[in-house]
Amino acid sequence: MQDEVFDELADLALKGSGQSIPKSKSYLIEARLSPIARREGFGTMDDLVHCLKSRANPVFAAECAAALVSKDTWFFRDREVLQRLVADILPARLKAGNTGRLKIWVAGGSTGQEALSIAMLLEDELPASLRGAKIDILSTDICKVTTDRARAARFGHYEVQKGLSIHRLMKHFTRMETGQWEASEALRSRVSFRQHNLLESAAGLGKFDVILCRNVLSGMDRAVRSTVVDNLQAQLNPGAVLLLGQGESLIGITDKMEPARDLRSAWVAAGTANRDAA
């Protein structure tokens, strides 16, 4: 790939989704945009860039930018964090809210495995303290194609092998004639899916008791992370929790949040961690 072509597409990713793609990973650009290039009849990435520059088509440009975002995810990624969410965080939030309802947002949820993993835990390991509670799970992703795939909840053999036990596969999924595995209606009814760009305000999504934005910020340019975190923080109910991926941190990004005590990868409103622990 020519340097000029890489620069144009890397800039498109940065402006459209905040993603930072180093030149050493230019192969990712070709891999992620090849389906669109084939669909549109472009022989090379150069042709695709020429189209983007010569025709003012913000919808197509947004589609390309969304396609450049990593879709890497799997079932029960960081299983202990998800189990802690169901066993400890949600019961605490339910008790504090006193409304009988909880709202969870999986931000940057890709093809839906993380949200469906939470749904399975709520089916299989529901604590007594959550019985009778209304628990809404929303998963969003910038990419329409990815969001549509998540909503269909159909996965290939390789996808269900990543993190999903045979027991849960047989209990919660049905093998289709195509060879794909489809999540049960019970699971799909627990989760809703919407397309959303984390660089934009999420006010229309409502407020949440827990937001999971795991392994998303690490792929973004540092200059835009504060915008994303501000957008997430604005949608947290009082006392709510933001869960990041392992190794991700908000230090140096925002002073509005601080690490939760005794809860790995969890962040709460600044000045509340010690108070809540007490």
Write down the residue that tokens 């919407």 correspond to.
194
Residues 163 and 245 in one domain: yes
In this structure, are residues 196 and 90 in contact, taking their beta carbons and an 8 Å threshold? Answer: no
In this structure, are residues 198 and 106 in contact, taking their beta carbons and an 8 Å threshold? Answer: no
Residue 22, in any domain of the structure: yes
Average pLDDT over residues 212-236: 94
Which residue has better confidence, 1 or 234? 234
Residues 49 and 97 in one domain: no
Residues 42 and 18 in one domain: yes
This model's pTM is above 0.75 = yes
Residues 61 and 100 in one domain: no
Write down the residue that tokens 């990435």 correspond to.
45
Q: Give the model confidence (pLDDT) of 170-186 as tens digits.
A: 999 999 999 999 999 99
Q: Give the model confidence (pLDDT) of 52-69 as tens digits.
A: 988 888 999 999 999 999
In this structure, are residues 247 and 235 in contact, taking their beta carbons and an 8 Å threshold? Answer: no
Residue 185, in any domain of the structure: yes
Kindly report the CATH number assigned to the domain that includes residue 129. Answer: 3.40.50.150
Kindly report the CATH number assigned to the domain that includes residue 36. Answer: 1.10.155
> How far are the Cα atoms of 18, 20, 85, 161, 210 from residue 226, in angstroms, in the given order?
11, 14, 25, 35, 19
Tell me which residue of 85, 82, 64, 60 sits closest to 73, measured CA to CA. 82
Which residue has better confidence, 183 or 223? 183
Residues 54 and 143 in one domain: no
Exposure of 120 by Cβ count < 10 A (0-12 exposed, 13-18 middle, 19+ buried)?
buried
Q: Give the model confidence (pLDDT) of 178-207 as tens digits.
A: 999 999 999 999 999 999 999 999 999 999
pLDDT at 262: 77
Q: Give the model confidence (pLDDT) of 2-54 as tens digits.
A: 889 999 999 999 999 999 999 998 999 999 999 999 999 999 999 999 999 88
Write down the residue that tokens 């891999």 correspond to.
31
Residue 252, in any domain of the structure: yes
Which of residues 37, 67, 97 is at a domain's end? 67
**Residue 101 corresponds to which tokens in the numbers above?**
């309802």
Residues 39 and 92 in one domain: no
pLDDT at 30: 92
Residue 188, in any domain of the structure: yes
Which of residues 67, 90, 108 is at a domain's end? 67
pLDDT band at 113 (very low <50, low <70, confident <90, very high): very high
Residue 187, in any domain of the structure: yes
pLDDT at 276: 53
State the chain's maximal CA–CA distance in angstroms. 63
The residue type found at 76 is F
Residue 37, in any domain of the structure: yes
Asked whether the predicted pLDDT for residue 278 surpasses 50, the reply is: no
Residues 48 and 110 in one domain: no
Which residue has better confidence, 98 or 4? 4
Residues 37 and 92 in one domain: no
The C-alpha atoms of residue 252 and residue 16 are separated, in whole angstroms, by 23
pLDDT band at 277 (very low <50, low <70, confident <90, very high): very low
The sheet with strand 134-141 has its strands ordered as: 191-195, 134-141, 101-107, 208-213, 236-244, 266-269, 257-259
The C-alpha atoms of residue 15 and residue 24 are separated, in whole angstroms, by 19
Residues 55 and 94 in one domain: no
Residues 60 and 106 in one domain: no
Q: What are phi and psi of 39, to 5 degrees?
A: -60, -40
In this structure, are residues 45 and 12 in contact, taking their beta carbons and an 8 Å threshold? Answer: no
Residues 44 and 129 in one domain: no
Find the domain containing 51 and state its range: 3-67
Residue 72, in any domain of the structure: no
Angle (CA) 8-12-13 rounded to 5° is 120
pLDDT at 274: 60
Residue 203, in any domain of the structure: yes
Number of domains the chain contains: 2
pLDDT band at 275 (very low <50, low <70, confident <90, very high): low
Average pLDDT of every residue of the chain? 93
Residues 151 and 105 in one domain: yes
